[in-house]
Chains A and B, each alone.
Chain A
Amino acid sequence: MTNRLVIIGAGMASGRVIEHLHETDPGGWDITLFNAEARGNYNRIMLSPVLSGEKTYDDIVTHDDAWYAERHITCRFGEHVTAIDRTRKVVTGQNGEVAYDKLLIATGSAPFIIPIEGRDLPGVITYRDLDDTNAMIAAAAKGGKAVVIGGGLLGLEAAAGLSSRGMDVTVLHLVGHLMERQLDETAGYLLKKDLERRGITVKTGASTAAILGKDRAEAVLLQDKSVLGADLVVLAVGIRPETRLATDAGLDVARGIEVSAQMVTSDPDILAVGECVELDGQLFGLVAPLYDQAKVAAATLMGQGAAFVNRETATKLKVTGCDLFSAGDFADGDDREDIVFRDPARGVYKRLVLQGDRLIGAVMYGDTADGGWFHGLIKDGADVSEMRDTLIFGPAFQGGRALDPMAAVAALPADAEICGCNGVCKGRITRAIEGGADTLDDVRAQTKASSSCGTCTGLVEQLLAVTLGDAFDMDTPKPICACTDLTHEDVRRLIKAQELKSQPAVWQELGWTTPNGCHVCRPAINFYLLADWPVEYQDDPQSRFVNERNHANIQKDGTYSVVPRMWGGLTSATELRAIADAAEKYDVPTVKVTGGQRIDLLGVRKEDLPAMWADLGKAGLVSGHAYSKGLRTVKTCVGTDHCRFGTQDSTGLGVKLEQRLWGSWTPHKVKMAVSGCPRNCAEATCKDVGIVCVDSGYEIGVGGAAGMDLRLTEPLVKVETEAEAMEYTVAFVQLYRENARYLDRPYKWIARVGLDWVRDRLADAAERRRLVAAFDLSQTIYQKDPWAERADEDAARAFAPLADLTLEAAE
């Protein structure tokens, strides 16, 4: 037989109960669902993105009408429950009664309204549900000033959302630092600084006396008598369990509705879950424990034994650009010890709290990547004494019990793969070393290990050190290749100092052991020469990898891919038509949109390249240099042209940068992006140079990467004007061209020289001017479309086979 279940409140906890019941016992329950809000269950946690405009209500609906219909649930949305009659087992709604066998109370929480004058004025809103959110969006559309009372999770998310919608926002917080329940003082300070950087005013230690206004809110009066103008006041000081129905029904209620670990109230036929309950003196506000409660409540309803256990929960603030994490307990205490890591330049703060051998709390700001791992250690109560020394650096630094990296390598079995590219295992490498290969080059030559991507070089060196002991000096600077004993840095220095301006000069004066280098050193030397002596040195195509020589990317079957430039990602009907025509004319098998906001034509025969380039050139398309160690793309978002959040003309700046920088050769590829606001739609913070526009100017970050390594950019400088943004970017690229090792992306180069060195050089206005002038001189020679230069008969002959003997009949 079916049981009648009545649920009061369609929130995230009760929604989860229904899901569990239907998964386990689909036909077993006849459910009536009351909700005071005129809608069903949606993801309340995502109200902040709705407020900021990053999501819409439709994006956050968990259960829509169809979902309830499929499960034959009687929905009474928009109807308040007025009473529970426990004797008759009946719930009374505004539109009538319904009987229950079991009742589930999930009335959630209500905003705490501080008892001050003016709290009922129009223009004062709380932040709890979708209606509140919509009211704030409507108010923000009129612009003006907003005062948010409460600097906790909800208040700050409201503040950030209103600020991104263009309001002038002030946050008032009673306590000395923001989010005091989740953060310690230092993290609270960093958060305040970040919010202020985005134009939000934060007043801590601020006690509100009254909300002033005649017909609607006009200002907020503080205890210190200061007055803040306010077109909108948001009350976000806290929440309290919504317990009125339960109290009226005579259930046991303390701060919340008291429940057992089975989620049963003082009446055995009535259960309660969510923010309205109190268990062992504790209230619940975060979603993870609510979901656990829902699971237990469903099990109890179905007669299965289950008990709720409160777990540690972690907090993350959903404000773009404010990266914070907090878990566990981090109050100071006599029996507690702290491990603290600070990086003031990057605004990074990490603090771990230990009690004995256990981690009990973690607060992180600025870099929260390891948050999940720390949270796991806290939840599991893991013994961390063994890894205590390196604990704060996160899981990447934990090599099991062995903290000595050599010990870890020594302990590897002989069949452990060291070089993934060439499938070389440890045993093969150690045999080679024992057989006399005592340098990295020897090991590479004999085993192929570390000869492809090079990421295993460190491991191979450690194997050399482990096998040879003191006979191997790991810190010897590595020469470029077997052709010379000199390092990249040595060679760059000598090319400048001795004014070496040709390849033969380098081979001769620097004592190369080979006649004309090899595939490793020659492309490097060719780059160094053309970067240092753009006017005197003549670029040598035969010292370039196939892609740069043929101005297209070779594919595994020997065909090529062709990527025309789309300035800042902009294109036009004419260009697209030319690309489509070329794709048809040359039977291009694959046309693909790239990650750099342009179009890739894959599978072109080499002999077709010059004619295809000529056709594309007629529509104004030039080479996108998708094949070069040079400027690839400048990715942009639409900025102020179309986007309601854009703060600057990001597309325009991207186009200007690409037009200034294209065609220049660099040590490795260079990818850039310009985002029009901190939402960062152009993903600028993982580029070699990424510019994020803000109201007050341009934040230039450098050294990002999203390839084999994943790096966020580090701040280089913030400037006010577009012209300065261009100047710094050009100067940075030239500094990189003059100093980096060939095939080092900017982040690797910065790691070698230090970001401070780069900043110092660029802070010097005279040096900046010199760098820009040197770059521009080089561009007078190298900023030429290689496709246009090869769109003729000579190139067609050079790209075709030298001879075709297939028609010569054998005699």
Chain B
Amino acid sequence: MSWIDIGALNDIPLRGARRVKTPLGCIAVFRTDEAEVFATANACPHKGGPLSEGIVHGRKVTCPLHNWVFDLETGEAQGADEGRIATYPLRVEGGRLLLDPAVLGRRAA
């Protein structure tokens, strides 16, 4: 099963994010540097805030509703907050964003 092309790298602003709708809920895709991207669950485990609307700093994002901070590599909440967001494999190839088909319940071949 091949990786899913979800769009161009330049569709995400630098230090910004976009969301992708999937059958299992929304995924947030982040661009932390020129060619560095991450994909995680979009909903904050605290109150469901849309993480794709948060401020992206370093390899972290701050939830726009109550300032929970998550590490985008591990999905772990930082500081005193306890929680974790799911992370998904995402890679850049030829300026395109390729997402692991597992998000559709499929396995990459």
Residues of A within 8 A of B (CB): 444-448, 451-452, 514-519, 522-523, 541-546, 549-550, 554, 556-558, 801-806, 808, 810-811
A452 to B79, CA, bound (A): 14
A803 to B66, CA, bound (A): 27
Are A805 and B23 touching (Cβ within 8 A)?
yes
Q: Using a CB-CB cutoff of 8 Å, which residues 19-51 of chain B contact chain A?
A: 19-23, 26, 29, 47-50
A544 to B62, CA, bound (A): 12
| Option from B12, B15, B26, B65 in Cβ contact (under 8 Å) with A516 | B15
Are A802 and B11 touching (Cβ within 8 A)?
yes
Given contacts A554-B65, A810-B105, contact A446 B80 (CB under 8 A): yes
B91 at the interface (CB under 8 A from A): no
Are B23 and A806 touching (Cβ within 8 A)?
yes
Are B12 and A802 touching (Cβ within 8 A)?
yes
For this complex, 23 residue pairs linking A to B, each with C-beta atoms less than 8 Å apart, are A444-B79, A514-B58, A516-B58, A519-B57, A519-B62, A519-B69, A542-B55, A542-B56, A543-B55, A546-B53, A554-B65, A801-B18, A801-B19, A801-B26, A802-B7, A803-B7, A804-B20, A805-B103, A805-B104, A808-B104, A810-B106, A811-B1, A811-B106
Are B56 and A554 touching (Cβ within 8 A)?
no
A-B pairs with beta carbons under 8 A, tally: 106
Are B4 and A522 touching (Cβ within 8 A)?
no
Binary interface encoding of chain B residues 52-93 relative to chain A, with 1 for a CB under 8 A from any of its CBs, else 0: 011111101010111101000000001111000000000000
Are B47 and A556 touching (Cβ within 8 A)?
yes
Are A803 and B62 touching (Cβ within 8 A)?
no
Q: Which residues of B contact A545 (CB under 8 A)?
A: 55, 64
- Give 17 new A-B contacts, CB below 8 A, not counting A522-B57, A546-B54: A444-B79, A446-B79, A452-B67, A515-B58, A517-B57, A518-B60, A518-B62, A518-B69, A541-B16, A542-B16, A549-B53, A801-B26, A802-B7, A802-B12, A805-B20, A805-B103, A810-B23
Interchain nearest-CB distance for B55 vs A (Å): 4
Are B65 and A556 touching (Cβ within 8 A)?
yes
Q: Which residues of B contact A810 (CB under 8 A)?
A: 23, 104-106
B108 at the interface (CB under 8 A from A): no
A518 to B22, CA, bound (A): 29
Q: Which residues of A contact B105 (CB under 8 A)?
A: 810
Residues of B within 8 A of A (CB): 1, 4, 6-7, 11-16, 18-23, 26, 29, 47-50, 53-58, 60, 62, 64-67, 69, 78-81, 97, 103-106
The chain B residue sitting closest to A424, CB to CB, is B80
A254 to B48, CA, bound (A): 77
A184 to B6, CA, bound (A): 79
A279 to B66, CA, bound (A): 64
Are A804 and B16 touching (Cβ within 8 A)?
no
Interchain nearest-CB distance for B54 vs A (Å): 7
| Option from A516, A557, A558, A806 in Cβ contact (under 8 Å) with B22 | A806
Q: Which residues of A contact B15 (CB under 8 A)?
A: 516, 542-543
Interchain nearest-CB distance for B44 vs A (Å): 10
- Chain A CB within 10 Å, residue with most, of B4, B22, B97: B22
| Option from B20, B50, B69 in Cβ contact (under 8 Å) with A803 | B20
Q: Which residues of B contact A514 (CB under 8 A)?
A: 57-58
Q: Which residues of B contact A446 (CB under 8 A)?
A: 79-80
Interchain nearest-CB distance for A554 vs B (Å): 6
Q: Which residues of B contact A546 (CB under 8 A)?
A: 53-54, 64
A478 to B76, CA, bound (A): 28
The A interface is mostly helix, strand or loop, or mixed, namely: loop
Are B20 and A554 touching (Cβ within 8 A)?
no
The chain B residue sitting closest to A517, CB to CB, is B57
| Option from B23, B26, B66, B97 in Cβ contact (under 8 Å) with A452 | B66
A811 to B4, CA, bound (A): 14
A550 to B69, CA, bound (A): 20
Q: Which residues of B contact A542 (CB under 8 A)?
A: 13-16, 55-56
Interchain nearest-CB distance for A561 vs B (Å): 14
The chain A residue sitting closest to B7, CB to CB, is A802
Q: Which residues of B contact A447 (CB under 8 A)?
A: 80
Are B55 and A523 touching (Cβ within 8 A)?
yes
Are B18 and A522 touching (Cβ within 8 A)?
no
Interchain nearest-CB distance for B25 vs A (Å): 10
Are B53 and A804 touching (Cβ within 8 A)?
no
A-B pairs, 8 with minimum CB distance = A519-B62, A802-B18, A803-B6, A546-B64, A546-B53, A519-B55, A542-B15, A445-B79
Are B57 and A805 touching (Cβ within 8 A)?
no
Interchain nearest-CB distance for B71 vs A (Å): 13
A546 to B15, CA, bound (A): 13
| Option from A448, A543, A554, A801 in Cβ contact (under 8 Å) with B64 | A554
A803 to B18, CA, bound (A): 9
The chain B residue sitting closest to A443, CB to CB, is B80
Are A805 and B22 touching (Cβ within 8 A)?
yes
A522 to B54, CA, bound (A): 12
Interchain nearest-CB distance for B56 vs A (Å): 7
A445 to B77, CA, bound (A): 11
The chain B residue sitting closest to A542, CB to CB, is B15
Interchain nearest-CB distance for A801 vs B (Å): 5
Given contacts A519-B62, A542-B13, A558-B49, contact A804 B57 (CB under 8 A): no
Interchain nearest-CB distance for A477 vs B (Å): 23
Interchain nearest-CB distance for A602 vs B (Å): 16
Are B6 and A805 touching (Cβ within 8 A)?
yes
Interchain nearest-CB distance for B13 vs A (Å): 6
Interchain nearest-CB distance for A589 vs B (Å): 18
The chain B residue sitting closest to A451, CB to CB, is B67
Interchain nearest-CB distance for B8 vs A (Å): 9
Q: Which residues of A contact B104 (CB under 8 A)?
A: 805, 808, 810
